[in-house]
Amino acid sequence: MILDSFSLQGKVAIVTGCNTGLGQGMAVGLASAGCDIVGVNQSEPAETKQKIEELGRKFIDVRADLSKTDDIPNIVDRSVTELGRIDVLVNNAGIIRRNDAIDFSEQDWDDVMNVNVKSVFFLSQAVAKQMIAQGEGGKIINIASMLSFQGGIRVPSYTASKSGVMGVTRLMANEWASHNINVNAIAPGYMATNNTDALRADEKRNKEIVDRIPAGRWGKPEDLAGPCVFLASAASDYVNGYTIAVDGGWLSR
């Protein structure tokens, strides 16, 4: 039965940045499909923990600062010690800094690149080593952006980081496909979360954005749950190195 191939029963997924927003939407989606979740955040993910436990799944709360790579070994160790294995990694944690390119600071460049692409690569590397040792493959899902495809305005390091995420997704897929590890990305469109508070508060920009989205609305965290479960499951075993836009049609316009 085809729907069985979407089941994640008995699997373990690490989701970074799941205390809110898109990460929470995907963590809850994965748990609904049967996954236990290792949530990696700086702040307490109380609401996400509650939602996942209500679904009858386990939630392991791992605190880490992904602006540096020092905490990465502990994320893998806690997952394996407490849940026995890692089947899925969702690299969702991300930040954005806005300023004109002409005034953009080196700090705003480095901060964004460190969280959005450097830690994505090194956490993927650490998890891939564990998946290879387990010998049963795995699924890595990176969170890209419309700015993996487009230039954007006033977000130079964000555009660089998310373009980098799409590139490195392809590279990791090429190198690890032989271990049955699939590495794909989801590029969310304009989604209503903390990350876009400033844009939605600006009436003019908000109208410009909504008018350009064929679906006529901002995306919601739940909109990512289905694509995330698909990419985490056996249903997508022959999908590798691809970045799927979940954007209400934005890129088609």
DSSP-derived secondary structure for the chain: -GGGGG--TT-EEEEES-SSHHHHHHHHHHHHTT-EEEEEESS--HHHHHHHHHTT--EEEEE--TTSSTTHHHHHHHHHHHHS---EEEE---------GGG--HHHHHHHHIIIIIHHHHHHHHHHHHHHHHTS-EEEEEE--GGGTS--SS-HHHHHHHHHHHHHHHHHHHHHGGGTEEEEEEEE-SB-SGGGHHHHHSHHHHHHHHHH-TTSS-B-GGGGHHHHHHHHSGGGTT--S-EEEESTTGGG-
Per-residue x/- track, 98-127, ligand NAP (CB under 6 A): -----------------x------------
Q: Is 65 in the site for ligand NAP (CB under 6 A)?
A: yes
Q: Which of 8, 11, 15, 23 binds ligand NAP (CB under 6 A)?
A: 23
Q: Which of 13, 76, 93, 244 binds ligand NAP (CB under 6 A)?
A: 93
Q: Is 21 in the site for ligand NAP (CB under 6 A)?
A: yes
* Size, binding site for ligand NAP by CB under 6 A: 28
| Residue (5 or 99) nearer to ligand NAP, CB | 99
| Residue (65 or 205) nearer to ligand NAP, CB | 65
Q: Which of 1, 2, 43, 211 binds ligand NAP (CB under 6 A)?
A: 43
What six digits make up the tokens of 3? Answer: 């729907």
| Residue (132 or 199) nearer to ligand NAP, CB | 199
Q: Is 183 in the site for ligand NAP (CB under 6 A)?
A: no
Q: Which of 103, 194, 238, 253 binds ligand NAP (CB under 6 A)?
A: 194
Angle between helices 72-83 and 119-134 (to 10 degrees): 30
Q: Which of 191, 225, 228, 244 binds ligand NAP (CB under 6 A)?
A: 191
Report yes or no: 174 and 215 within 8 Å, Cβ to Cβ: no
For the bound state, the minimum distance from the C-beta of residue 92 to ligand NAP, rounded and expressed in Å, comes to: 5
CA–CA gap between residue 181 and residue 131 (Å, rounded): 8
Q: Is 94 in the site for ligand NAP (CB under 6 A)?
A: yes
Active site residues: 158
Report yes or no: 16 and 90 within 8 Å, Cβ to Cβ: yes
Q: Which stretch binds ligand NAP (CB under 6 A): 37-45, 78-86, 131-139, 170-178?
A: 37-45
| Residue (67 or 163) nearer to ligand NAP, CB | 67
For the bound state, the minimum distance from the C-beta of residue 179 to ligand NAP, rounded and expressed in Å, comes to: 25
Q: Is 190 in the site for ligand NAP (CB under 6 A)?
A: yes
What six digits make up the tokens of 161? Answer: 């980081």
Q: Which residues bind ligand NAP (CB under 6 A)?
A: 16-17, 19-23, 41-43, 64-67, 92-95, 115, 143, 145, 188, 190-191, 193-196
